[in-house]
Amino acid sequence: SILECILISAADNEIKFTANNTDLGIETVIKCDKCKIAEPGTTAVEARLFSDIINKITDDPEEDIIFESDGNIIELKSSTST
């Protein structure tokens, strides 16, 4: 269900993460000059899966995470992965 997802929106120099359940809504906006957003867009990703993948990619909070999407598939990788 959509209540189990994180809505990810990318535009200009910011990425917005939005999540809701029946009691609470959370929105976090990351603004950065280093963001390279080739094409603005929005997608919904299962929250638990997204969190598990991000935690397995890196445990370094200073490391960049790279998001790439072709519309139906999102690729996540660390800036140091090969």
Q: What is the pLDDT of residue 7?
A: 92
Q: What is the DSSP letter of 75?
A: E
Q: How many alpha carbons lie under 13 Å from residue 78 in its C-beta half-sphere?
A: 14
Summarised one tens digit per residue, pLDDT across range 58-75 is 777 777 777 777 767 778
pLDDT tens digits for range 6-18: 999 989 889 999 9
